[in-house]
Amino acid sequence: MKLTIGHLYPDLLNLYGDRGNIQCFCKRLEWRGIEAEVIPFLSGSRIDFSKLDIVLLGGGSDREQELVCQYMKEIKSDFKNYVEDNGVVLAVCGGYQLLGKYYKTDKKMIEGLEILDIYTEWEPERLIRNIILNSPLFSAPIVGFENHGGRTYIGNHTPLGKVFFGLGNTGKSGYEGVVYKNIIATYLHGPLLPKNPQVCDYLLERALKRKYGEDIKLEKLPDRLEQKANNYIVGRYSDKKYVLKETIKRYT
Ligand code: GLN
What spacing in Å lies between the alpha carbon of 59 and ligand 1's midpoint? 6
- 81 CB-near residues (< 8 Å, 6+ apart): 49
Share of the chain above pLDDT 90, in %: 87
Distance CA 142, CA 136 (A): 11
Q: Is the pTM of this model over 0.85?
A: yes
CATH of domain 2-250: 3.40.50.880
Considering 7, 24, 69, 93, which one is annotated as catalytic? 93
Q: Highest-confidence range of 60-64, 119-123, 240-244, by mean pLDDT?
A: 119-123
pLDDT at 17: 85
Average pLDDT, whole number, for the chain? 94
Atom of ligand 1 nearest to the CA of 92: 8
Distance CA 140, CA 124 (A): 33
Distance CA 147, CA 129 (A): 7
Q: Is the pLDDT score of 241 beyond 60?
A: no
Distance CA 117, CA 182 (A): 15
pLDDT tens digit sequence for 50-108: 999 999 999 999 999 999 999 999 999 999 999 999 999 999 999 999 999 999 999 99
Q: Is the pLDDT score of 16 beyond 90?
A: no
Main-chain dihedrals φ then ψ at residue 76, nearest 5 degrees? -50, -55
178 alpha-carbon distance from chain centroid: 9
What spacing in Å lies between the alpha carbon of 132 and ligand 1's midpoint? 18
pLDDT at 18: 87
- CB of 62 closer than 6 angstroms to any ligand 1 atom: yes
CB atoms within 10 A of CB 224: 9
Do residues 58 and 41 touch, judged by C-beta distance below 8 A? no
Of 36 and 215, which is predicted with more confidence?
A: 36
Q: At what angle do helices 20-30 and 197-212 cross, to 10 degrees?
A: 70
Distance CA 151, CA 7 (A): 25
Determine the average pLDDT of the residues in 193-222. 96
Distance CA 155, CA 9 (A): 28
Note if 189 is an active site residue.
yes
Pocket test for ligand 1, best of 97, 187, 189, 192 (most atoms within 8 A of CB): 97
Nearest CA to ligand 1 atom 5: 94
Domain range list for the chain? 2-250
pLDDT at 247: 64
Do residues 2 and 34 touch, judged by C-beta distance below 8 A? yes
Q: Which one-letter amino acid corresponds to residue 109?
A: M
Determine the average pLDDT of the residues in 115-123. 98
Pocket test for ligand 1, best of 147, 187, 189 (most atoms within 8 A of CB): 147
- 196 CB-near residues (< 8 Å, 6+ apart): 138, 140, 142, 143, 144, 188, 226, 230
Atom of ligand 1 nearest to the CA of 61: 1
What counts of helices (H) and strands (E) characterise the chain?
Answer: 6, 12
Torsion of CA 88, 198, 236, 169, to 10 degrees: 20
